[in-house]
Structure 1
Amino acid sequence: MCIYLIGTTEAYQLLKLPSFVKHYFEHSQEDPQLSLMAFIKMHYNETVDIDGDWQKDMQLPFKTHEDGTSLLPLGYFPPTHVTPLRAPVLIVSKPRIIPFHQFLFDLYSADIFQPPRHWVA
């Protein structure tokens, strides 16, 4: 299931988490006051600026999207049991006769202040 999810969804981006941690430590060595939230805001919330570490920035998770996913099944497994086909069965039913009083229009049906009724079929 994991192989299928990684191959068909964006879950493969989670495999890039080590590069995220490594890049964060590189930035924290340059600026010890940099928090994790400031790092995330710098790389994911602000406009893209091409600087010296732009190549490393593009290796972070969820920065790029690849269209290499496939929704095809991993393999074809033939059925182990084949059910033989049978001739169709014709079902004949009698028509239902509906009494005329069920078709009568109730003039007071729009009035919401009515006592409860018991329906007799």
Structure 2
Amino acid sequence: MKKLISILLISSFLISSTEFYQILKVPFLLEHFKEHKSLNEGTTFWSFLSMHYSNNDIKYADYDKDMRLPFKSSEGSLHLLSISFIHYSSTTKLHKPFAKTLKTYKVFNDHKFQSTYLSNIWQPPKSC
């Protein structure tokens, strides 16, 4: 039961948020191929795919059917939604300009620091 639920959840995620939903259009691809095959007996599946998916953007009489083929057009099923909420309290005054003062800090470069720990780093391990 868990396996079935997992498969259903993963499938629904893939179909709703990726281009995986195009796989659902494969039966229409086969039906459209049969139409072309009935019109011309010499049509192979490879010639059908090259006619519809090559970079030749020729608009045939069945252009509307061609655009319903899988991976032919992107219908934009992937929507990114970003919502941000900004909380303004009643004491916030929006009409005053915001000015930030910069603080300066002193940096001390003391090169006299020597660590005896670091000088012993390349020594072989000692037993306890």
Conserved 8 A contact 1:20-1:61: yes
Conserved 8 A contact 1:7-1:70: no
CA RMSD of aligned residues (A): 2.3
SS in 2 for 1:98: helix
Residue aligning to 2:119: 100
Matched to 1:63, the amino acid is K
Structure with more of its chain in helix, by fraction: 2
Aligned residue pair count = 83
Residue aligning to 1:79: none
Matched to 2:119, the amino acid is F
Mapping for residues 1-121 of structure 1, pairs under 5 Å = 1-70=10-79, 98=117, 100-102=119-121, 120-121=124-125
**Counterparts of 1:62 and 1:16 in 2: how far apart (Å)?**
9
Percent sequence identity is: 33
Unaligned runs of 5+ residues in structure 1 are 73-95, 104-118
**Counterparts of 2:21 and 2:118 in 1: how far apart (Å)?**
64
**Counterparts of 2:13 and 2:120 in 1: how far apart (Å)?**
60
Q: Residues 30 and 100 of structure 1: is their aligned pair in 2 closer, same or farther, counting only changes over 3 Å?
A: same
1:69 is displaced (CA, Å) by 2.0
1:12 is displaced (CA, Å) by 0.4
Render the CA deviation track for 1:92-114: whole Å, top value 9, x for unaligned: xxxx95152548xxxxxxxxxxx
**Counterparts of 2:16 and 2:116 in 1: how far apart (Å)?**
58
